[in-house]
Amino acid sequence: MATHLSVAQARPKHKRVLPGLGLSLGTSLLFISLIMLLPMTGLIMQSVDMGWDEYWYVITNERVVASYKVTLWAAFFASIFNGLFGLLLAWVLVRYEFPGRRVLDALVDLPFALPTAVAGITLATLYSQNGWYGDLLASLGIKVAYTPVGIILAMAFTSIPFVVRTVQPVLEELSPEEEEAGMTLGASDWAVFRRVIFPALWPALMTGIALSFTRSLGEFGAVIFIAGNMPYVSEITSLMIFVSLQEFDFPAASAIASVVLMASLVLLFAINVWQARYLRRLHGR
């Protein structure tokens, strides 16, 4: 009996690498509160001041609604484009060995490192009617700068790293045996890609596209230089917020911002839930 007791006492507690759930969780929560929750609360407080009717009036203003449409469509096309092009880029970076691969790999992050205004000005210069690309495209009758196409271009440019950087690690970890198994079972290259590789990449790709989409919803600096900012045609929602701010109409700015915020939150949350369900199947939990 006595030996049993001593054994029970000697049993070590479960140890974690980072000690103290209380401390680490507390620090994280404090940080999140200061950096994210507090400013967001401020934002909501400011729009609460104005009352429901006024809030509704501001966010459904015709010009603002037009900007929602422009932003949503542009972000949609930009993220779809990034989904395709980003997947291709990630594939090339992971699957092929070629001179300059590391340089290309580093270049992928450039849109994150570059101030977005610089990106916007550069793009605008290149694609304006007497720029290098704009000149060429104009002769084909295509106008990019100062149109919604320009918005898509700027959004795609600033958010492409999201797709590449989420897909790349998953692609790297994909076991070659699964592909080989597909081939020994007689599957064509396309069938192996569609049935074996793609389902494994799909959750990461969706996350990348969603991140790219939400980033595009909020993009400001890169877009305004190339968009032309014509009311009802090429004004994005971030610009509407900026315009309200310049008129010192802080409640209106907050109100519009809260719409963008909600849209992003809902989308990210939905993707998270969906991905968790998909991954649970893969990991058998």
Q: Which residues bind other proteins (CB under 8 A)?
A: 175, 177-178, 180-188, 191, 195-196, 199-200, 281-284
**Looking at beta carbons only, is 45 or 191 nearer to other proteins?**
191
CA distances to 150, 242, 275 from 219, rounded to whole Å, are 13, 12, 25
DSSP the chain: -HHHHHHHHHPPPPP-SS--HHHHHHHHHHHHIIIIIHHHHHHHHHHHTT-HHHHHHHHT-HHHHHHHHHHHHHHHHHHHHHHHHHHHHHHHHHH---TTHHHHHHHTTHHHHS-HHHHHHHHHHHHSTTSHHHHHHHHTT---TTSHHHHHHHHHHHHHHHHHHHHHHHHHHS-HHHHHHHHHTT--HHHHIIIIIHHHHHHHHHHHHHHHHHHHHH--HHHHHHH---TTTS--HHHHHHHHHHTT-HHHHHHHHHHHHHHHHHHHHHHHHHHHHHHHHHHT-
Q: How far is the CB of 183 from other proteins (least distance, A)?
A: 5
**Looking at beta carbons only, is 53 or 173 nearer to other proteins?**
173
Q: How far is the CB of 202 from other proteins (least distance, A)?
A: 8
**Looking at beta carbons only, is 183 or 268 nearer to other proteins?**
183
> Token pair 């939400």 is at which residue?
214
Q: How far is the CB of 54 from other proteins (least distance, A)?
A: 50
Q: How far is the CB of 190 from other proteins (least distance, A)?
A: 10
Name every residue whose Cβ is closer than 8 Å to that of residue 126 and which is 6 or more positions away in sequence. Answer: 132, 133, 134
Q: How far is the CB of 273 from other proteins (least distance, A)?
A: 18
Q: How far is the CB of 95 from other proteins (least distance, A)?
A: 17
Q: How far is the CB of 128 from other proteins (least distance, A)?
A: 47
**Looking at beta carbons only, is 129 or 188 nearer to other proteins?**
188
Q: How far is the CB of 170 from other proteins (least distance, A)?
A: 12
d(Cα 195, Cα 189) in Å, to the nearest integer? 10
**Looking at beta carbons only, is 178 or 247 nearer to other proteins?**
178
